[in-house]
Amino acid sequence: MSAPTPPTAFTDALLRADRPLVMEVKLRDPHGADLLGERTVTDLVTRYEQAGAPCLSVVTGRWFGGTTRLLREVTAATTLPVLQKDFLTRPAQLEAAHAMGASAVLLTAALLPATSLHRLVTHALGLGLTPFVEITDERELDTLPHPESCVIAVNNKDIRTRERDPGDLQRSLRLLPAVRATGCPAPVSASAITDPAAAARLLDAGYAGLLVGTALMRTGDIDTWLTTLDTARTGVAA
C-alpha cells in the first residue's frame, strides 16, 4: 500500500471555513424539475462566492441534467475548490476531472468493488484530487484505503431510487462515530438537508461539513438561509 497523502485543497478549504457548506450546482432536482431558472451558471457561482462558500460541488450526472461541460463552466468561473459529482468508476474519468479543473471527485462506495475503490482512491490522491467517498452503511468503511486523506460523506438519500426519497438525516447521526473512527478529518453529511435547522443539528453533532444543493438553489434568499443557520447553531433567538 502506498503512503497516505496529506489532505488536498478541497479538504483544507472545508476545514478552515467558519460555515463549512459545500454549495452545489445542479441543473435539475431528482424529479427532473429545473433548478437554474433564469440564472446563468456564472451567476450562481458568483452568488455562492458572495455567500462565503469554501468550496463547490458540480453534478455532472445525467440523472440531474448534468454534463462535463457544466464542470468546465464552473471551474472557469471560480478559483474555489470544486467537487465533480458523478458515478465515476475508471481512472481515466479521474484524469479528465483533474484536467477540467476539479479538486475533488465523488466515489460511491456502494457501487464500487473493494479493489476498484482502492485503485480509484489511490489514483485520485496521486493526481492531487480529494477522494470524496460517499457511503450509506458502516460496512462500506471496512475496505476504504487512506481514510485520513479522504472526505467521507454520508449520503442521506438512496441512490437505488435515484435519490427521489425524502432522505434520512438519522443515517448521518448514526454513522458519524464510525466515520470519525477511521481518522477521516472531514466527515460530511450530504443530501436531504432542506432547512437551516437541520443543517445546524448536523454541524453541532460534529460534522466538519455539509453538502447542500437543492435547498440553496431553490431559496429566494441565500443570505437569510445562512443567517438562520448561524443563529440556530449559536442558540441566539432570531
Q: Is the pLDDT of residue 163 over 70?
A: no
Q: What is the pLDDT of residue 1?
A: 40
Burial of 119 (0-12, 13-18, 19+ CB in 10 A): middle
More confident residue, 5 or 156: 156
The 8-class DSSP code of residue 34 comes to B
Give the burial class of 165: count Cβ atoms within 10 A of its Cβ; 0-12 exposed, 13-18 middle, 19 or more buried.
middle
Backbone CA torsion sign across 151, 156, 158, 159: negative
CB-facing half-sphere around the CA of 133: CA atoms within 13 A: 35
For residue 188, give the nearest of 160, 157, 209 by alpha carbon.
Answer: 209
Assess whether pLDDT exceeds 70 at residue 124.
yes
The whole-chain average pLDDT of the chain stands at 91
Q: How far is CA 203 from CA 13, 45, 59, 193, 225, in A?
A: 16, 23, 23, 11, 15
Amino acid occupying residue 97: A
Give the predicted TM-score (pTM) of the model: 0.92
Task: Give percent of the chain above pLDDT 70.
Answer: 92
What is the average per-residue pLDDT within 221-228?
A: 96
Q: Is residue 127 pLDDT above 90, yes or no? A: yes
Candidate from 53-57, 79-83, 155-159, 174-178 with smallest mean pLDDT? 155-159
Q: Tens of pLDDT along 49-100?
A: 999 999 999 999 887 778 999 999 999 999 999 999 999 999 999 999 999 9
Average pLDDT over residues 132-148: 95
Residue 29 has pLDDT above 90, yes or no: no
**CA distances (Å), 21 to each of 118, 212, 216, in order?**
27, 7, 10
